[in-house]
Chain A
Amino acid sequence: MAARPKTIVVGGGLAGLMAVIKIAEAGIPVQIFSFVPVKRSHSVCAQGGINASVNTKGEGDSPQIHFYETVKGGDFLANQPLAKGMCEAAPGIVYLLDRMGVPFNRTPEGLLDFRGFGGTLYSRTAFAGATTGQQLLYALDEQVRKYEAEELVEKYEYWEFLSIVKDSEGACRGIAAQDLRTMEIRVFPADAVCLATGGNGVIYGKSTLSMVCTGSAASAVYQQGAIHANGEFIQVHPTAIPGEDKHRLMSESARAEGGRMWVPRDGKPWYFLEEKYPRYKNLVPRDIATREIYHVCRVLKLGVDGKDMVYLDLSHIPAETLNRKLGGILEIYEKFVGDDPRKVPMKVFPSIHYSMGGLWIDYEADGSGNIVAGSPRNHQTNIPGLFAAGEVDYEYHGANRLGANSLLSCFYGGMLAGPAMVSYAKGLERSCDAVPASVFEAERKRQEEACGRIFALSGTENPFVLHQELGEVMTDNVAVVRYNDKLQAADNAILAFMDRWKCIDIHDASTWANQAVSFTRQLWNMLELARVITLGALRRDESRGSHYKPDFPERNDGAWLKTTLATWTPSGPEFRYAPVDISLLKPEARKY
């Protein structure tokens, strides 16, 4: 084994940058690949905050309660040791971020301030205005820049990950990537590779996600043999502003700070969540709030002006409080809608928001369910040497994620994945430098040929139109309310899109900064993943967390308390199921 292993992290959001920092801190060089400059990654869109049971408000909160609420919020589908490890690490993580200079809101005494959030009755969420994700990402970006100045980190920005390089034993030995300016395809050897490439909401066309969140990288490795788990669990956030290009998130923190949801009924405001959930009121978990809004708009037909729209009302809260705690999202509403939420209720509707599912990853826990620090198994996929962290992995959140747990799981995932990569790389008998050059050359050639085929597409279909149609099919049939006949129809539609993909007119022959070629490649990967989501949903005949079938309205632990595992085959995903680790908390009815 070479004295200094080579490592690669793909994706420069919170999870990726944290993995990079951990690797660099161990004195090991790391190359980071990102579609956009890492500072522009999707983590910037997280608004409300990051959970940590620091218990500074005398409420008796503890990491154990956080763990219980995370597992219950996820409808008992999460593997419990990792969720426990995350919740226990959370206070230390928030302190570390504070030390890195994140401008968290403060109490009058100068301590970290915390607010409430969905699925809990405790003040557990640290926040920096309403742009917490942006501030956290910037803190990590700055730390990485320090390592970049020390030449331990090498950035490849405006590069697209295409595939991993597998050796004759099937282990990951590096990646193939494309420079999005010169369109040159190169291979990069590495002893350990981590994908931290985020979610896949762009498969649904319009979502709260950023444009890069196509799931393309995850799909590429799924097509190379990585297992994709729990794909059918897609979180639909209850409150977003519908738009033509995307749906803009209105953070759950709006409700945590006292925002109320209502629709007019018989000439008076009807606070439908407060009436049905007197304890949690407007802060029931997202899957529940979303289904209630659908019920109000689609079944009761009580949406504002008869449309798919409900009110999120902050107008009773003092403007000074709103500015200090929610400024960032008020600005978004003002800029994009034109109304002032300090004065009039905001009009919102649910939107695709987060993928609980993702690449299957392993972990190592001891007999008490504690994660073994530094174990190479942590966050490793079924492909040796390939790791995954952040929204791209399937862990932590089960069937539904609690608000303000995503920044936490990204951070914690990166903290585990980095050291795991180092352990794995150091334990290798043969370094990537000893792998024959022909192995890398073969993958480069495969990718060149695939890219050549995209350049040669000269049919009649427009890739961006196809994507729009895919989004409509997924949003109409594979979102909040799911029926088996509609799911089957959606899969048929995806197959038809796959045929039409082959008839695309690429419209752009340029070998310089060709976005059409890149997008068309990602579109195919989106189609592959869309089938995983749709067929996984079709098979799961129960209702659990975000996955809701009116024909099977109950959770069915006897038949379905298990993880969905999808493996790629040329004729579509093949499904198996694995038990969930419920060794620490016994499943119970999920009531709020």
Chain B
Amino acid sequence: MAKNTIELKIKRQDGPNVAARWEEFSIPYKPNTNIISALMEVRRHPYTVQGQKTTPPVWDANCLEEVCGACSMIINGKVRQACSALVDHLEQPIALEPMTKFPLVRDLVVDRRRMFDALKRMHAWIPIDGTYNLGPGPRVDPNMQAGAYSLARCMTCGCCLEVCPQVTPTSKFIGAAAISQVRLFNMHPTGKMHARERLEALMGEGGLQDCGNAQNCVHACPKEIPLTESIAAMGRETTAYVLKRLFGG
């Protein structure tokens, strides 16, 4: 049977300290619509299914190609990017909720600052001598490049933190994304020279030892980053580092 409408349920919350409410919307059906297009349609006609005038829903989005990481939200109970969530693949009414592990800003927008702070704590960069012309970089094995590239696609979207039982709004755990970034920088020929700083940070508060091995992260990652492999690899690397520190060598 041809569908004529798309039915949406959006969890609305005007700010961090006010109660949430659900609002329902019905918009005309179009093939190949994603959740962002549906939200845009609601914004063009911000009236609930009961005909009540409301505020245009507020959400985060930018690239709409699943490379910027902005539009993560919970769609029919599953955390994912709203841009790549196609209406035709979703059961209706489609429920949209904000992620729960980050401070709520408004409606579907949350504050993921903790993820960027974690990258800062983990020294997630390659230290270079300067931006002057210092000639070519190190030669890199094409296989190592392929491995690095698969980790480097992390867009800090927060899906892995959202599904992690060890991450709560108050816990300090940095989550799989930042752990995997340590692995990325520690495998680079230059990054390797400073691996110790990152391993020290990774063994600090909220670091690797807080991982409970639930393995939800790897299934939630929209970029199919091998997060559990990264966690295991960092487990081995920190162990080796501790032993080396204890016994010298």
Closest to B148 in A: A103
Of A98, A101, A105, A110, the residue contacting B141 (CB under 8 A) is A110
Residue from the set B43, B45, B105, B120 with the largest chain A CB neighbour count within 10 Å: B43
A246→B146 contact, CB < 8 A: no
Interface residues of A in 433-489 (CB under 8 A from B): 462, 464-465, 468
- Contact flag A99-B128 (CB < 8 Å), given A513-B15, A513-B106: yes
Closest to A102 in B: B152
Stretch at the interface among A35-43, A568-576, A582-590: A35-43
Is A579 interfacial (CB 8 A cutoff)? no
Q: Digitize A137-152: 1 where CB-to-B-CB distance is under 8 Å, 0 elsewhere.
A: 0110011011011000
Interface residues of B in 45-78 (CB under 8 A from A): 45-46, 53-56, 58, 60-70
A464→B67 contact, CB < 8 A: no
| Further contacts, 18 of them, CB under 8 A, given A45-B68, A336-B86, A507-B56 | A39-B155, A44-B63, A96-B131, A99-B190, A105-B145, A107-B142, A110-B139, A112-B136, A129-B149, A145-B116, A244-B30, A244-B32, A244-B34, A244-B40, A335-B66, A462-B45, A507-B53, A508-B55
Q: How far is the CA of A331 from the CA of B84 in the complex (A)?
A: 11
A507→B46 contact, CB < 8 A: yes
Shortest Cβ distance from A343 into chain B, in angstroms? 19
B109→A513 contact, CB < 8 A: yes
Shortest Cβ-Cβ A-B pairs, 9 listed? A98-B137, A142-B125, A110-B139, A244-B37, A101-B126, A513-B106, A508-B55, A99-B137, A92-B133
Q: How far is the CA of A302 from the CA of B126 in the complex (A)?
A: 51
Q: Digitize B20-32: 1 where CB-to-A-CB distance is under 8 Å, 0 elsewhere.
A: 0000000000101
Q: Digitize A44-59: 1 where CB-to-B-CB distance is under 8 Å, 0 elsewhere.
A: 1100000000000000
B140→A40 contact, CB < 8 A: no
Closest to B119 in A: A145
B66→A332 contact, CB < 8 A: yes
Shortest Cβ distance from B61 into chain A, in angstroms? 6
Interface residues of A in 305-335 (CB under 8 A from B): 324, 328, 331-332, 335
B127→A146 contact, CB < 8 A: yes
- Contact flag A415-B67 (CB < 8 Å), given A107-B142, A211-B61, A462-B44: no
Shortest Cβ distance from A410 into chain B, in angstroms? 14
User: Could you say which residues of chain B place their CB within 8 Å of the CB of A107?
Assistant: 142
Closest to A338 in B: B86
B134→A99 contact, CB < 8 A: yes
Q: Digitize A106-143: 1 where CB-to-B-CB distance is under 8 Å, 0 elsewhere.
A: 11111110000000000000001101001100110011
Q: How far is the CA of A138 from the CA of B153 in the complex (A)?
A: 9
Shortest Cβ distance from B130 into chain A, in angstroms? 6
- Contact flag A128-B70 (CB < 8 Å), given A181-B105, A243-B37, A245-B34: no
Closest to B54 in A: A507
Chain A interface residue number, banded: 35 or more
Closest to B68 in A: A40
Q: How far is the CA of A470 from the CA of B89 in the complex (A)?
A: 31
A103→B64 contact, CB < 8 A: no
User: Could you say which residues of chain A place their CB within 8 Å of the CB of B34?
Assistant: 243-245, 336
Q: How far is the CA of A181 from the CA of B63 in the complex (A)?
A: 21
Q: Digitize B170-199: 1 where CB-to-A-CB distance is under 8 Å, 0 elsewhere.
A: 000000000000000100101100000000
- Contact flag A515-B56 (CB < 8 Å), given A37-B116, A244-B37, A324-B146: yes
Shortest Cβ distance from A140 into chain B, in angstroms? 10
B120→A148 contact, CB < 8 A: yes
Shortest Cβ distance from B146 into chain A, in angstroms? 7
A332→B65 contact, CB < 8 A: yes
B62→A36 contact, CB < 8 A: yes
Shortest Cβ distance from A559 into chain B, in angstroms? 40
Is A25 interfacial (CB 8 A cutoff)? yes
Of B70, B106, B128, B140, the residue contacting A143 (CB under 8 A) is B128
Closest to B69 in A: A40
Q: How far is the CA of A288 from the CA of B191 in the complex (A)?
A: 44
B142→A110 contact, CB < 8 A: yes
- Contact flag A40-B70 (CB < 8 Å), given A21-B131, A106-B141, A245-B40: yes
User: Could you say which residues of chain B place their CB within 8 Å of the CB of A515?
Assistant: 56, 58
Of A95, A112, A211, A415, the residue contacting B62 (CB under 8 A) is A211
Is B237 interfacial (CB 8 A cutoff)? no
Is A552 interfacial (CB 8 A cutoff)? no
User: Could you say which residues of chain A place their CB within 8 Å of the CB of B32?
Assistant: 243-244, 336-337
A-B contact pairs, 28 of them (CB 8 A): A36-B70, A37-B156, A39-B69, A40-B68, A40-B155, A42-B62, A42-B63, A45-B63, A96-B131, A96-B133, A98-B137, A99-B190, A101-B126, A128-B149, A135-B149, A139-B126, A142-B126, A244-B37, A244-B40, A245-B36, A246-B65, A324-B146, A328-B153, A337-B32, A464-B56, A508-B55, A510-B106, A515-B58
Q: How far is the CA of A343 from the CA of B188 in the complex (A)?
A: 35
Shortest Cβ distance from B222 into chain A, in angstroms? 9
User: Could you say which residues of chain B place their CB within 8 Å of the CB of A149?
Assistant: 120, 123
Is A277 interfacial (CB 8 A cutoff)? no
Q: How far is the CA of A148 from the CA of B139 in the complex (A)?
A: 29
User: Could you say which residues of chain A place their CB within 8 Å of the CB of B58?
Assistant: 513-515
Shortest Cβ distance from B73 into chain A, in angstroms? 15
Is A212 interfacial (CB 8 A cutoff)? yes
Is A516 interfacial (CB 8 A cutoff)? yes
Closest to A415 in B: B131
Shortest Cβ distance from A268 into chain B, in angstroms? 29
User: Could you say which residues of chain B place their CB within 8 Å of the CB of A331?
Assistant: 66
Is B83 interfacial (CB 8 A cutoff)? yes
Is B210 interfacial (CB 8 A cutoff)? no
Is A428 interfacial (CB 8 A cutoff)? no
Is A372 interfacial (CB 8 A cutoff)? no
Is B135 interfacial (CB 8 A cutoff)? yes
Q: How far is the CA of A516 from the CA of B34 in the complex (A)?
A: 21
B142→A108 contact, CB < 8 A: yes
Closest to A209 in B: B63
Q: How far is the CA of A110 from the CA of B33 in the complex (A)?
A: 43
User: Could you say which residues of chain B place their CB within 8 Å of the CB of A328?
Assistant: 67, 153
User: Could you say which residues of chain A place their CB within 8 Å of the CB of B126?
Assistant: 99-101, 139, 142
Is B234 interfacial (CB 8 A cutoff)? no
User: Could you say which residues of chain B place their CB within 8 Å of the CB of A128?
Assistant: 149, 152
Of B15, B44, B133, B152, the residue contacting A464 (CB under 8 A) is B44
Of B37, B63, B105, B131, the residue contacting A25 (CB under 8 A) is B131
User: Could you say which residues of chain A place their CB within 8 Å of the CB of B119?
Assistant: 142, 145
Interface residues of A in 42-91 (CB under 8 A from B): 42, 44-45
Is A210 interfacial (CB 8 A cutoff)? yes
B46→A210 contact, CB < 8 A: no
Q: How far is the CA of A25 from the CA of B86 in the complex (A)?
A: 45
User: Could you say which residues of chain A place their CB within 8 Å of the CB of B137?
Assistant: 95, 98-99
